[in-house]
Homo-oligomer: A and B are copies of this chain.
Amino acid sequence: MNTPQAIQDRYPDEWNHCYGCGRLNDKSLRITSYWTGDEAICNYIPKDEQTAFPGVLSGGVIASVIDCHSLAAASAAFGAQLGIAENEPLPRCVTASLKVDFLKPTPLGPVTVRAHAQEIRGRKAIIISHLFSGSEECARGEVIAVLKPDA
């Protein structure tokens, strides 16, 4: 069985230095996303220091995970739409806006984020994401992602 490739591993090298998810940034949080065909899945394990309050995951980290993961979902969705082959680099997106609703405190522990493209119009995608701790949805994201001008 092949190990599935992370979406971020298909970003072009010159745009792969992101602090959240960059493969070529030694100090990156290494947020990684996998495309299932209609949604992207991210499993993130926080570090002990990434707290808001003791035992509760930092909202800034949640925003970072939702941001990077939503851009990855947008890249994969654009790639699928453009018919880009699996061994080819994906187009890179940037964030025009990021909104996170914190529904309840997220326990400091592994989280899963599921993201899908609600709409793609031209060079813009609206990505909706749901962050879970176990089966509890703790945060919800809406990101407007735009294809990078030179992507």
- Contact-residue size bin, chain A (C-beta under 8 Å from the other chain): 35 or more
Nearest Cβ in chain B — how far from A1, in angstroms? 32
25 contacts between A and B (CB under 8 A): A14-B54, A15-B53, A17-B53, A17-B54, A18-B51, A18-B52, A19-B50, A19-B58, A26-B49, A59-B67, A59-B95, A59-B98, A60-B64, A60-B65, A60-B68, A61-B64, A63-B63, A63-B64, A63-B67, A94-B102, A96-B101, A96-B102, A97-B100, A97-B102, A98-B98
Contacts from A to B (Cβ < 8 Å): 14-15, 17-20, 22, 25-29, 47, 49-54, 58-61, 63-65, 67-68, 94-102, 105
